[in-house]
Every structure is written in C-alpha cells, then in structure tokens.
Chains A and B, each alone.
Chain A
Amino acid sequence: DVKVTQSSRYLVKRTGEKVFLECVQDMDHENMFWYRQDPGLGLRLIYFSYDVKMKEKGDIPEGYSVSREKKERFSLILESASTNQTSMYLCASSILGLAGGLDTGELFFGEGSRLTVL
C-alpha cells in the first residue's frame, strides 16, 4: 500500500514564525503536491513537484515555498506564518500519469496537518 506520511497532525504557531511541514511517501512516486483545505473552498493547490529539485507554483503559492531534495520527501515552508494561513494542509503523491485514460494518476494523500497560527 502507498503510504504518505505527514510529520505533524496538529501544529500551533505564532505569527511570524517559520513553519516546516514535512511529507514523505514510500512508493517512489514522481509527483508530489501540497494543498490547503478550507471550508467551502475545497482543496487548493499551493505547489507541486514532478521531480527532485523541480517545483511548480499552484494556484495559491503566495507566502509559501517548497523543497524537494529527495524523491520521497516534499517539504512545505511558511517563511513567516500569518493568521490567514491557519488551515488544513494536505500532502499527496502520484505516479507520472497521463490524463485521458492511460493511467489514472490518482492522488494518494497523507492524513493532513492542521495548522493554527495565533
């Protein structure tokens, strides 16, 4: 079974702190993603990576950065946390799939990290 592990389920940080959210997957997936989930907004993509040291901005990258030094690990960094970054953060991974039926490219998710910024 694919396992995606996020380092912390719950975090409480103060405004201005630097926050690291770690994600590790054990299935040699090429793609890794960071989403944030907010009520009524669904999941919004922050950043994704399709290879080591490669990263692409998602829809809401402002205030975040990422790091992928090893294939299995994808880190989300909040350089200076703000209260509007209080949210549930979900990491996911997938194979390098092609849309349209060649393979599903389904996402495998971690359990989520609920971050509260005070």
Chain B
Amino acid sequence: AQKITQTQPGMFVQEKEAVTLDCTYDTSDPSYGLFWYKQPSSGEMIFLIYQGSYDQQNATEGRYSLNFQKARKSANLVISASQLGDSAMYFCAMRSLAGGFKTIFGAGTRLFVKA
C-alpha cells in the first residue's frame, strides 16, 4: 500500500531562519513523483515543488528545496529564509505509476513563522 507520513502537526520558525518539514513515503513502485503543496489560510492549494524518483539531483524552486533521500524514502521540504507569508499548511504528496493517476497526501504540517 502507498502511504505518505508527515509526523509534525505543527512547527514554529523564526522569521529569516530555515525550516525543514518532514515527509516519508512508502511505495514499492520504482517510478513515482513527490510533491509539496502549500495551503494558506485563504484555502487555495498551491503547488511548490516536484521530485521525480529518477531525478539525480534534489529539486529546488527559489527558497524551496526538496531533500530527497531515496533509500530512506524521505522527501523533506526545506524553506530557506522564512517569511511571514510562509505561515500555512504544507502537504506532502505522491503519485506513482502503479498507483495510476491518483495523488495521495499526507496529513499536513502547519507552519507558523514568528516575527
């Protein structure tokens, strides 16, 4: 069975500091993609970053990077230089070839950025 686990229900970070949001996944499929989405208090889901299982390098998008450790089945999101606007829910998600077109999500981590 495929599963995404986010073990941090909530986290605090000081403005301008870096923060790591944890995500572990479980799949037996060698071909899969990992995603992070952000959901501000307004409710819309915003795609942040993607990592393919065959990608050799960790994905980066601006202040976001994905620390992909394939052997450990972890895909942690690193946000550098946190901003107040980063306060939101963050969801890790996975999609695999064997799983068809379904994207499954973790329970989410609520990030609070302190001024």
Contact = CB atoms under 8 A, between A and B. Distances in A.
Contacts of B25: none
A109 B101 contact: no
Contacts of A45: 102-104
A47 B86 CA distance: 31
A57 B19 CA distance: 36
Interface of A is mostly: loop
A99 B44 contact: no
A32 to B, nearest CB: 10
Given A43-B91, A111-B43, A99 B33 contact: yes
Contacts of A108: 47
Contacts of A56: 100-102
Given A97-B95, A99-B53, 18 more contacts: A31-B101, A33-B103, A40-B9, A42-B105, A42-B106, A45-B102, A45-B103, A50-B100, A58-B102, A88-B43, A98-B97, A99-B95, A100-B31, A100-B53, A100-B97, A104-B33, A106-B35, A109-B45
25 contacts: A42-B4, A42-B91, A43-B93, A45-B102, A50-B101, A56-B100, A56-B102, A58-B102, A90-B45, A94-B101, A94-B103, A100-B31, A100-B33, A100-B52, A100-B54, A101-B52, A104-B35, A104-B50, A104-B52, A105-B101, A107-B103, A109-B44, A109-B45, A112-B43, A112-B44
Interface of B: 4, 6, 9, 29-33, 35, 37, 43-45, 47, 50, 52-55, 91, 93, 95-97, 99-108
